[in-house]
Structure 1
Amino acid sequence: MSEVAKPGEVLNRIEQYADELRAEGVEGDRLMRLSDTSAKRLREAGVMRMFQPKEYGGQEAHPREFAETVMAIGALDGATGWVSGIVGVHPWELAFFDPRAQEEVWGEDPEMWMASPYAPMGVARPVDGGYILNGRWSFSSGTDHCGWVMIGAAIGDSDGKPLSPPQALHVVLPRSDYEIDAESWNVVGLRGTGSKDLIVRDAFIPDYRTIAADKVQDGRAPKEAGRDETLYHFPFSCIFPLGITSSLIGIAEGALACNIAAQRERVTVYGLPIKDDPYVMFAIGDAAAEIAASRAAILDTVDRFWDMTEKGQEVTFEQRAVGRRTQTAAAWRAVRAVDEIFARSGGGALQLATPLQRFWRDAHAGLQHAIHVPGSIFHASALTQMGGEPQGVHRAMI
């Protein structure tokens, strides 16, 4: 096990591995999963233990530090940043589970990673002492390097049919209880995330390896678990999207850096140095400002919510809805900025040998995540600010 990092040390370690992680991104894109070297460097840096409880060798880091670290990784390689942002959040939730579950996952190996997803794509049928789980889950990022998985499940009746109205659990399973469909991930962007399908057939899940999804989302879970650390009372609807959107902003920063490096000596077919083209210079400056604004907006929300949580103040539904609006808008703003600079990078940017095209592909793939869908979030934030009460889907993930 690597030494527990002090504040700032994880990011420093990542910077030491920068050239290697940047180069390994090409291999990950080819393999359609993180390379073994990239996964090793993330373990050595301690990225996935930033939100892990201290009693299991974790850092219990400030979410801002986690976000800045994920952004830095995303700027080196989009897929590596994406996996860091998603897998890195799971220890935060495992801290609410029964101590027996935490001991099973981290007792022998504090470096253990957990994959996801949270969407209730399977059904948990109640039996004595727990549940029997069946289903298929898509988009399990980083799953090839994980020994456990934390996934969502709909609670079923005795016949295995989902209850109505629906009730959802988050459940934890060891690698021996699920199958990875190796052929299920063949995509245009974020290829290196290896976000493959998982299949579970008649796996027994003991009660202590389950938690009610609504208790995680509404903040009851940490209270019932007896957690008094500020980190674990931070709103789920901020911390879960944080890793995903931070990686996307990092991808945009990586694209901008590639663009600037390529444009320094570029000359148009008419012999004009790009540095003398005022339209391209404006586009680069505008894109840089938009990406910086996206970064600042995300970090400002994190800081405000942290300060409120630390003071024991409630982060209200309206504040959470506005926070989600800010986070979603930041993602779209950053990707639009990437489009502006990519469109002005010339035909050379299309070459697969250049990293810019991979950042461009990864940025658009990242925008496809459900956490970046703006419709219901913008609706909920506006309605709440007008004194309304959003219902149904408009309350989801807020």
Structure 2
Amino acid sequence: MSSLNETSRLTEPLPQPEPGLRPADVVARAEAMIPKLRRSQAEADERGHFSDEVLQDFRDAGFYRMLQPKLFGGYEFDTETFFEVVYRISAGHPGTGWCFCLSATHVAVVASYFGEQAQREILGDGEFRAPHRAVAGGRLVPVKGGYRVSGKWSFSSGSPVSTHFIGDGFVHEDGEQSRVVTFVAHRDQYKVLPDWGNGTTLGMQASGSNTVEIEDQFIPEHWVTDQDILFGTRTDFSEGTPGTRLHGNPRYLGLFDPTYHMSFAAILSGAARAAVDRMAELMPTTKQILGTEKMDKDPDALRALGKGAALADAAHAVMVDTARRIDALYARWSEDGRPITPSELMRLHALACRAAMLGAEAVQLLFQSAGSRASGRGDSMQRYLRDSEMYLIHPSSQPFVDFLRGLSEFDAFTGGVS
């Protein structure tokens, strides 16, 4: 059964910057930022990530503390609230949404799976932003008290705005590669290589998906875990996690397979909303392909706008429903301790993928229908198309997701997807 009443609070919690902050407040703040984020799209793409000013806006708004434990000055908001904020940031700029989300969501990794000493050392000043590169790389060589870590981890989204890095790596013992673990490194232990943004990739140029390099740094043993963080298929949820015992909140059970893929659901749903808005801006000033009237008088253009808007609405609705289902699993575990199975997690994973696919479909339709003006390099519609295409080549969007979802109908899924 669950152990939520076995909390350990050896010191007073850090004060929250805004003790009365509500979920509705952070959502409203994210909505208000959309115009500013749209104005800064081009410079963020060139830079490879959002600006220091935007980072400070996000910090001041409380966005990086939404998933932070209250013990460390956070708010412990629910899954839906967090992704509603990501959705709105992405409606301002999908690349900025990706960079924010993939640096903000991983505080829950530490708060769920790492022990109290590590949490106090890593989260204890109330500031935590980190990518998690789940594809194992590099070398961890055991030494007294921990490991010497070296390696490079590409596509570490959010790394330019990070305070820490979470990586998966191979432990090498007696010259042999023995196992995979997850570790945390502090910002002064790694370099962020300048290999992202300014046209380096087709899209998501502002996602801050740079390569992180670590050169022979000592990582203490308690900053390393061999838990199956991404999928939970090797996790015995019956007794909870270090996080549920420390914080008394079931959300620190750490269901990261569906939560990770909710990131893409929110980002692509936001991109779809942005494309709908751009299409509506273009139509009154753009001529029909045939005729002299503007596109807002063209039945075909209006049908495309209507279908694209409906797809965008559907993507957002599926995103919201998936978030609520994730939180329902947390609540169920807290109430009666029923096991959470890999097949249940896979069903939510696939649902989040479907939301992202609906968002990408909306963007593609609207770009196709917006006229040649939208194809210009500086036009935001072109940017939304390029950004959505980056999701469509991501591993999480590939056909094997549907195969594994099929297995889950027979409770036959046991893990092994990234």
How does the TM-score come out when normalised to structure 1?
0.90
Report what 2:328 is aligned to.
Answer: 307
Deviation at 1:333, TM superposition (A): 2.3
Contact kept? 1:43, 1:111, Cα under 8 Å: no
Contact kept? 1:263, 1:275, Cα under 8 Å: yes
Give the partner amino acid of 1:237: D
Q: 1:215 to 1:20 in 2, by over 3 A?
A: closer
Contact kept? 2:342, 2:413, Cα under 8 Å: no
Tell me if 1:389 matches 2:401. no
Deviation at 1:220, TM superposition (A): 4.4
Deviation at 1:320, TM superposition (A): 1.9
Deviation at 1:38, TM superposition (A): 1.6
CA-to-aligned-CA distance 1:57-116 (integer Å, 9 cap, x gap): 1111110111111001100111111122211111111113223322333333x1332233
Q: 1:192 to 1:286 in 2, by over 3 A?
A: same
Report what 1:162 is aligned to.
Answer: 177
Report what 1:324 is aligned to.
Answer: 349
Report what 2:7 is aligned to.
Answer: none
SS at match of 2:170: strand
Listed as ranges, the gaps of 5+ residues in structure 2 are 1-15
Give the Cα–Cα distance (whole angstroms) in 1 for the partners of residues 354 and 133 of structure 2. Answer: 23
Give the Cα–Cα distance (whole angstroms) in 1 for the partners of residues 382 and 159 of structure 2. Answer: 25
Q: After alignment, is 85-94 or 298-307 more displaced?
A: 298-307
Q: 1:383 to 1:99 in 2, by over 3 A?
A: closer
Give the Cα–Cα distance (whole angstroms) in 2 for the partners of residues 57 and 205 of structure 1. Answer: 25
Query: Which of residues 150, 155, 180 is equivalent to 1:134?
Result: 150
Give the Cα–Cα distance (whole angstroms) in 2 for the partners of residues 290 and 317 of structure 1. Answer: 29
Give the Cα–Cα distance (whole angstroms) in 2 for the partners of residues 357 and 120 of structure 1. Answer: 34
Give the partner amino acid of 2:117: R
Query: Which of residues 354, 361, 370 is equivalent to 2:379?
Result: 354
Give the Cα–Cα distance (whole angstroms) in 1 for the partners of residues 320 and 174 of structure 2. Answer: 46
Deviation at 1:234, TM superposition (A): 5.2
Report what 1:208 is aligned to.
Answer: 222
Contact kept? 1:331, 1:367, Cα under 8 Å: no
Deviation at 1:193, TM superposition (A): 1.7
Deviation at 1:311, TM superposition (A): 2.6
Give the partner amino acid of 2:309: A
Give the partner amino acid of 2:120: E
| Percent identity of equivalent pairs | 24
Query: Which of residues 240, 243, 261 is equivalent to 2:281?
Result: 261
Contact kept? 1:252, 1:334, Cα under 8 Å: yes
Give the Cα–Cα distance (whole angstroms) in 1 for the partners of residues 210 and 173 of structure 2. Answer: 28
Report what 2:18 is aligned to.
Answer: 3
Report what 1:223 is aligned to.
Answer: 241
- Correspondence 1:212-251 to 2 at 5 A: 212-214=226-228, 217-218=231-232, 219-220=235-236, 222-225=240-243, 226-227=245-246, 228-233=248-253, 235-251=255-271
Give the Cα–Cα distance (whole angstroms) in 1 for the partners of residues 186 and 319 of structure 2. Answer: 33
SS at match of 1:352: coil
Give the partner amino acid of 2:328: D
Tell me if 1:101 matches 2:122. no
How does the TM-score come out when normalised to structure 2?
0.86
Query: Which of residues 403, 412, 415 is equivalent to 1:379?
Result: 403
Q: 1:351 to 1:216 in 2, by over 3 A?
A: closer
Deviation at 1:397, TM superposition (A): 4.2
Contact kept? 2:149, 2:219, Cα under 8 Å: yes
Q: After alignment, is 320-329 or 95-104 more displaced?
A: 95-104
SS at match of 1:52: coil
Report what 1:26 is aligned to.
Answer: 42
Give the partner amino acid of 2:314: A
Give the partner amino acid of 1:280: A
Query: Which of residues 208, 216, 224 is equivalent to 1:194?
Result: 208
- Correspondence 1:264-279 to 2 at 5 A: 264-268=284-288, 270-279=291-300
Report what 2:392 is aligned to.
Answer: 367
Aligned length: 388
Deviation at 1:297, TM superposition (A): 1.6
CA-to-aligned-CA distance 1:191-238 (integer Å, 9 cap, x gap): 112211111121111111011241563254852442431211252211
Q: 1:74 to 1:280 in 2, by over 3 A?
A: same
Tell me if 1:286 matches 2:307. yes
SS at match of 1:121: coil
Contact kept? 1:121, 1:136, Cα under 8 Å: yes
Give the Cα–Cα distance (whole angstroms) in 2 for the partners of residues 376 and 20 of structure 1. Answer: 38
Q: 1:325 to 1:15 in 2, by over 3 A?
A: closer
Give the partner amino acid of 1:300: D
Q: 1:230 to 1:151 in 2, by over 3 A?
A: same
